[in-house]
Amino acid sequence: MAEGGREPTNRDLMDCMKAMRCNVENVSYGLTICAERTALVKAVSEGHRKFKAIAIASDLANKTISPCGACRQFLVEFGVSWDVIMTKPDMTYKTMKTGELLPLFHQHL
Ligand SMILES: [Zn+2]
């Protein structure tokens, strides 16, 4: 029931759709498959289940690359204490444990 006690008309629905039309973007790139997840899926498909480390590289100038939120969840589901090596183009890097990157990860499986 629309406001005022009447059934919504097509005009009401169109006005509602116009009001909702927006594009909310996020750096997580929801439907893309990042290299981290691709690497893990490939490894799992070949029978690997335990990992010691993963290195992530990019050509981002002066920035250390780090996994997106989806990849952090994916990585931590294979353990909280393996290394994620995050690099910069100048060959410097920072290492963090998977559990450090996503301490409050989703655990309901
Ligand atoms: Zn990712």
Q: Which domain holds residue 94?
A: 28-101
Q: Residue 19: phi, psi to the nearest 5?
A: -65, -30
Centre of ligand 1 to C-alpha 31, Å, is: 10
Examine residue 9 and state whether it is found in any structural domain, yes or no.
Answer: no
Catalytic residue from among 3, 7, 25, 36 = 36
Going from the Cα of 10 to the center of ligand 1, the distance in angstroms, rounded, reads 41
Q: Is residue 87 part of a domain?
A: yes
Residue 19 lies in a domain: no
Tens-place pLDDT, residues 47-60: 999 999 999 998 88
Catalytic residue flag (residue 7) = no
Instruction: Name residues whose C-beta falls within 8 Å of residue 77's C-beta, 6 or more positions apart in sequence.
Output: 105, 109
Which residues, including other chains, have CB under 8 Å from residue 80's CB and lie 6 or more apart? 97, 98, 99, 105
Neighbours of ion ligand 1 (CB under 5 A): 34, 68, 71
Instruction: Find the mean pLDDT for residues 71-97.
Output: 95
pLDDT of residue 58: 86
pTM of the shown model: 0.72
92: domain CATH number is 3.40.140.10
Summarised one tens digit per residue, pLDDT across range 23-42 is 566 776 667 888 999 999 99
